[in-house]
Amino acid sequence: MENQFFLNAGIPTPAPPLHFGPCLSSPKSAWQSLSSAMEIHATELNCSPDQSQDCFLNPNWEKSPDYGLQFNSALSSMVSSPAASNSNISNESFMIRELIGKLGSIGNSGEISPHSLPLLASYINGNNSTNTSCYSTPLNSPPKLNLPMMDSLVQQKLPSLGKSMGLNSSVAEFSADPGFAERAAKFSCFGSRSFNGRTSEFGLNNNNEISAYRCNPLTANAKLPRVSSSPSLKAMGSKVGAVQGSNKSSPLQDRSELANPQEESTVSEQNPNGDPGFKASKDSNSRKRKAIPKAKTKETSASPSANAAKVSEANGESNEKRTESTESNGNENGFVKAEEDAKLGINGNAGDEKQNKTKPPEPHKDYIHVRARRGQATDSHSLAERVRREKISERMKFLQDLVPGCNKVTGKALMLDEIINYVQSLQRQVEVLSMKLASVNTRLDFNVDNLMSKDIFQSNNTLPHPIFPIDSSASAFFGHQPRQNPALHCNISNGTMTQCSVDPLDALICPNLNTHLPPINQFTETAPQYQTLYEGDLQTIVQMGFGQNPSQEMALQSENFLGSNQVSHMKLSSNNHSLVLD
Amino acid sequence: MRPPSLLKQEFLKKWIMGLQRCSSTKKNMNILERKKAIKLSADVAMASSRNGTTCWSRALIANASKDGNDKHLVEQILGPESERLIVKKVSIGALVCNKRIRSKKILKRSCGIRRTRKCVPQVALASSIAKWLVRKRTQVLKSLIPGGEFMNEVCLIKETLDYIISLRAQVDVMRSLASASEQVNHS
């Protein structure tokens, strides 16, 4: 594979492969697996950035000890070998360059390419953080901020390498090597086209680490599938986040969060001067999907600082990713836009020159002043529409908190689904409970309400807000049908509404039925004279479902209640009997 | 928003009051009638706790008082506010809403006519599908919430919020009452 690799690139295999032969045989398989894994990942670009990044990085880390050891031994053998005379240094440096270039080229979608040098250091260190900090330097930027760190690390850990073989020098040689860029570019048969773009720029811009990233969108133009570049940029974003602070990296990778106030804060922190074009690119992102690369290129070329470029790309990509994901979920554009715009509008950074939607602070105005954002339509209809959309999205957020299980759902349609289900289930619960109460109490008398009210509000706190206990109680009502006498089914024919409403719960009821039947059977046999079948069943189920302890206070009133019950006892039992048997 | 315990207490009070009035009027009710009475009084109590501030509560009361049998019950539960809640706001609200609905229908018809003349590409865009889905679900939600057909989307979501909160409180109170009465019966 190695030879193939080199042949494809049109480069002769290194002259003395003796040092590297044994060392590289094991990494060869590792590289093969890496490349295959990478190709798989390159094709399945729907996996989340987190996932993809992990997939990309994890194989690296699994193989890293091998690499570290192998390369350490290789390098040290090179250094310490007596044959490492000046005449051979060029060869060795060439080999090192090839190695590192290969490492870099195998880097899928360009993530590992800048990893290669810091990876060497980090393999030795086993330290992930240095990896991320060193990430920002491409191979060809010699005396930049992270390289000295790496140098120190390298010198700490590889004293045998000596200063002459310091990676710094090799990096300097990289930059000086004119053919390196071509070779690295040719190595990109493994990587995505974004990497191609990136590496092709390495030779051009030696001292500017920014441009390596900046030129990425320039070369990776519209034909590049956006999603393929996004994992790399997500990684970039994550690295940037790691550099900036741990709390900011998570929002960049958090797809479920549609817009990131923290992301905004990173932008604001890094762009204190304000970057109107950058913000506009974000807005235009939300509007026009096709124009996103162009917008990015415009903005990234305009931005002076490296951080801005990185963050813009990361943000732009995350925006893209977000819009893509949400649109693939079948959302309307407006909603995504509204959410993004809402979030962007809400944050309203101080240094922002972006035209935010401003709610006027003066309350005496009757209407809301809305400013059109750059790149968006300015007619009153669309403005009003946008206001309306933002209101809706705000309220949907409240609903998300209210409805359980809505947090993971993104998108209007799905959330509306959840809301509908929840409202329907609540209404059904009301029905079931009213039926239950009707059956329990024949005369609709709740004489003990004074005492009960205390108990109720105490127990209200302890009661969970469940669906299943209600289902279990519903099973007591309606779950016995198949077993018992079907002839009495017509008694509750008028209650078909409630029955039908409970039918969807049957799926939930079924697991509960089996647990409930045995105690009920027991109870039917040993039903005391005083208690009806139904009450006993309900009692067991209630106890199982609610797990409440009978209160002592109720004992006082219970006699009173039971006294009143005795009169209607026969009626109660007959009524309940018909109910149970149905 | 009021604390939920206050809401629940108010609801319980009104509910039991309504139930007592119910039982005083009719002596022997079968189980279904009882259930209906329970549910009705619960709903009305819930709605009246809102004091006519929300649309769904007004619509609920209006629907309840449409039926002649229940109207008395509703009036009894609501007490002195009944005229205020039932007569004035609801009727006016219904009128306004009907007008709005009619005008919307006219508008839709005219837009539809206009659209058929344009050659709209028949490609099913993701956005249009999404919009259709959302519209479908909004319709379902409107059918669920009392008085929901008369609301636009913004109000609908607000009303849904409020309705969910009150439904939850209602369910909690009913459940605890049911369990408490079960315990009483058992012991």
> What integer pLDDT is reported at residue A452 of this predicted model?
53
Say which residue the tokens 């959840």 belong to.
A418
- pLDDT per position as a tens digit, A292-304: 444 444 444 444 4
Give B81 or B58, the one with higher predicted confidence: B58
Compute the half-sphere exposure of residue A159: CA atoms within 13 Å on the CB side of its CA: 1
Provide, for chain B, the percentages of residues in helix, strand and coil under a 3-state DSSP scheme, each rounded to the nearest 5: 85, 0, 15
Say which residue the tokens 């506010």 belong to.
B81
| Closest Cα in chain B, distance from residue A309 (Å) | 31
Kindly report which listed range (A40-54, A367-381, B120-134, B168-182) carries the lowest average pLDDT score: A40-54
Give A329 or A367, the one with higher predicted confidence: A367
In Å, what is the CA distance from B86 to each residue of A108, B50, B83? 69, 13, 5
Check CB contact under 8 Å for A396 and B157: yes
Give B7 or B86, the one with higher predicted confidence: B7
Residue by residue, DSSP assigns A494-513 as TTHHHHHHHHHHHHHHHHHH
Task: Please state the rounded mean pLDDT for residues A197-224.
Answer: 44
Report the residue from B8, B43, B164 with minimal CB separation from A402.
B164
A483: three-class secondary structure by DSSP:
coil
Q: Which residues of A touch B161 (CB under 8 A)?
A: 395, 398-399, 402
- A144 vs A172: CA distance, rounded Å: 11
Task: Please state the rounded mean pLDDT for residues A439-446.
Answer: 70
Check CB contact under 8 Å for B180 and A538: no
Check CB contact under 8 Å for A420 and B137: yes
> What integer pLDDT is reported at residue B22 of this predicted model?
72
pLDDT at A186 over 60: no
| Closest Cα in chain A, distance from residue B81 (Å) | 24
**Confidence label for A424 from pLDDT (cuts 50, 70 and 90):** very high
Residue B96 forms contact with A (CB below 8 Å): no
pLDDT at B166 over 80: yes
> What integer pLDDT is reported at residue A324 of this predicted model?
44
**Confidence label for B177 from pLDDT (cuts 50, 70 and 90):** confident
**Please, are residues A151 and A167 in contact by the beta-carbon 8 Å criterion?**
yes
- A251 vs A256: CA distance, rounded Å: 9
Residue B142 forms contact with A (CB below 8 Å): no
Report the residue from A412, A440, A495 with minimal CB separation from B134.
A412
Whole-structure pTM value: 0.39
**Confidence label for B159 from pLDDT (cuts 50, 70 and 90):** confident
Kindly report which listed range (A285-294, A477-486, B9-18) carries the lowest average pLDDT score: A477-486
- Classify residue A526 by its DSSP letter: T
Compute the half-sphere exposure of residue A473: CA atoms within 13 Å on the CB side of its CA: 28
Tokens encoding B170: 């209602």
Count CB neighbours of A212 within 10 A.
Answer: 28
pLDDT at A425 over 90: yes
Task: Please state the rounded mean pLDDT for residues A505-516.
Answer: 41
pLDDT at B157 over 80: yes
Quick one: how far is CA A355 from the chain centroid?
Answer: 29
Count CB neighbours of A431 within 10 A.
Answer: 18
Tokens encoding A542: 């209630």
Check CB contact under 8 Å for B182 and A538: yes
- pLDDT per position as a tens digit, A256-286: 444 444 444 444 444 444 444 444 444 444 4
Report the residue from B131, B161, B179 with minimal CB separation from A542.
B179
Task: Please state the rounded mean pLDDT for residues A523-548.
Answer: 43
Residue A237 phi/psi, 5-degree rounding, is: -60, -40
pLDDT at A21 over 60: no
> What integer pLDDT is reported at residue A323 of this predicted model?
41
**Preferred mutation among B22, B152, B183, B187 to probe A, highest tally of A CBs within 10 A:** B183
Report the residue from B16, B172, B182 with minimal CB separation from A463.
B172
- B110 vs A7: CA distance, rounded Å: 69
- pLDDT per position as a tens digit, B94-122: 566 667 777 778 887 877 766 655 555 55
**Confidence label for A212 from pLDDT (cuts 50, 70 and 90):** very low
Residue by residue, DSSP assigns B132-183 as HHHHHHHHHHHHHSTTGGG--HHHHHHHHHHHHHHHHHHHHHHHHHHHHHHH
- A274 vs B152: CA distance, rounded Å: 39
Give B148 or A159, the one with higher predicted confidence: B148
- pLDDT per position as a tens digit, A81-100: 444 444 454 555 555 556 55
- A129 vs A146: CA distance, rounded Å: 12
Q: Which residues of A touch B142 (CB under 8 A)?
A: none
Q: What residues have CB less than 8 Å from B49, skipping those under 6 apart?
A: B7, B10, B11, B14, B57, B166
